[in-house]
Amino acid sequence: MRTFLYFAAAALVTFAAMVYQRTTGPTYPKRAELDIDGNKYLLSLIRSHGGEKDCPLIFHIPDTVVTGTVTYRKFPTRDGWTTLAMTREDTELVASLPHQPPAGKLEYKVEFEKNGKNYPLHESNATVVRFKGDVPAAILLPHIILMFVAMFFANVAGVMALFRHRKFRTFALWTLVLTGLGGMILGPWVQYYAFGEAWAGVPFAWDLTDNKTLIAFLFWILAVVMNRKKERPGYVILASLVMLAVYSIPHSMYGSQLDPETGKIIQGMILHGNWHI
C-alpha cells in the first residue's frame, strides 16, 4: 500500500506538470474571447507552425456579416505592417501568414468588422508565431514520451528517497537513463529538424530548453554516482527537485530565434507581448 501511494503521488505531480506544460510557454496556442453583438466566440491564436507551407489562421465565426483582417510584420523588427483581408469559407474566416525560415518569427494582429464597427482581438500587443521545420513523428513522439516518463520516475525516486524506500536508487538510475535518451539524444535530433542545429545550449548558445535539460541530466548523474556504494537519499531528493524546477519553466521560453537582419539563429524571449533579445 505504501509503495502504491508513492506511485500515486508521483503520477499526480507528473500529470500536473504535463497540464502545466500544455498551458504555458510561447509555443502553445493562445485563447482569446471575442464578443460581437452579444455573440461570444472563443478563438485560438497560433504561436508555432511547422513545415514548409504558409501558416493558416482559422477563426470559426458563423455570422456571415462579419469580415476580418490580419496585419503582420517580421519579429523582432520595426518594419511596416502588411494587412491581409480574410476570406470566408462557410462558417470560418481564414487567412495565411507567409512561410518563414526555421526559427523565423512574425507578429500579427487580428481585427474583425461588422456593420462598420471594428472588433480588435488585441488590445495592445500582437501575437508572435515562430516557424520551424517539420520534425518526424518517429523522433518527436519518443522524445516527448521519454521525457515525461523520466519525470514520473524522477518523482517516484524522490518520494522513495524521502521515505528511505529500498528501491529509490533503482528509480534514480532509470531516471538518468531516460533523461539521457529523451533529452540528450532525441532532444538534439528534434532541435536539428526544427531549427537546423543540434545543440543550442552552453557552451555554444543559451537556449533555455537545452540548458535546463543539461542541468537536470547532470544532477541525475551526481545522484546516481553518489549512491553507487552507499545510500545517500539526499542527492536523489535534490535531483528530483531540480527536475521539478526544470519542468516548471515554460517550454521554449528562451528558445531559438532568427535574427531578421543577420539571418543567424540567436535566442530570444517574449515578455508580455513585447520583444527582447
At 215-236, the pLDDT tens digits run 999 999 999 999 999 999 999 9
pLDDT band at 88 (very low <50, low <70, confident <90, very high): very high
CA distances from 30 to 47, 50, 59, 97, 234 (A): 7, 17, 13, 16, 40
Question: Do residues 88 and 64 lie in contact, with contact meaning Cβ atoms separated by under 8 Å?
Answer: yes
Number of domains in the chain: 2
When mean pLDDT is compared across 1-10, 50-59, 173-182, the lowest value belongs to 1-10
In sequence order, what are the residues at sequence separation of 6 or more whose Cβ sits closer than 8 angstroms to the Cβ of residue 110? 43, 45, 57, 59, 68, 69, 70, 120, 121, 122, 127
Looking at the structure, tell me whether residues 118 and 156 fall in a common domain: no
Looking at the structure, tell me whether residues 96 and 7 fall in a common domain: no
Span 183-207, pLDDT tens digits: 999 999 998 998 888 887 777 767 7
Looking at the structure, tell me whether residues 68 and 6 fall in a common domain: no
Residue 203: per-residue pLDDT? 77
Looking at the structure, tell me whether residues 121 and 157 fall in a common domain: no
- DSSP letter for 205, please: -
Looking at the structure, tell me whether residues 270 and 170 fall in a common domain: yes
- Among 100, 132, 164, where does a domain finish? 132
Residue 139: per-residue pLDDT? 95
More confident residue, 27 or 74: 74
- Among 106, 132, 158, where does a domain finish? 132
Residue 34 has pLDDT above 50, yes or no: yes
Residue 129 has pLDDT above 50, yes or no: yes
Looking at the structure, tell me whether residues 157 and 118 fall in a common domain: no
The DSSP annotation for 154-174 comes to HHHHHHHHHTT-TTHHHHHHH
Looking at the structure, tell me whether residues 264 and 149 fall in a common domain: yes
Looking at the structure, tell me whether residues 141 and 271 fall in a common domain: yes
Looking at the structure, tell me whether residues 70 and 140 fall in a common domain: no
What's 45's domain CATH number? 2.60.40.10
Residue 31: per-residue pLDDT? 87
- Among 107, 132, 157, where does a domain finish? 132
Give me the half-sphere count of Cα atoms (radius 13 Å) on the Cβ side of residue 244: 19
Mean pLDDT of 103-115: 94
Residue 121: per-residue pLDDT? 85
Looking at the structure, tell me whether residues 63 and 146 fall in a common domain: no
Looking at the structure, tell me whether residues 9 and 93 fall in a common domain: no
More confident residue, 203 or 60: 60
Residues 17, 9: Cα–Cα separation, whole Å: 12
Q: In the chain, which ranges are E strands?
A: 30-36, 39-45, 48-50, 55-60, 67-75, 82-85, 87-89, 92-97, 105-114, 117-120, 127-132, 254-258, 265-271, 274-276
pLDDT band at 67 (very low <50, low <70, confident <90, very high): very high
3-state secondary structure of 40: strand
Residue 271: per-residue pLDDT? 37
Looking at the structure, tell me whether residues 252 and 117 fall in a common domain: no
Identify the domain containing residue 105 by its residue range.
30-132
Mean pLDDT of 89-101: 95
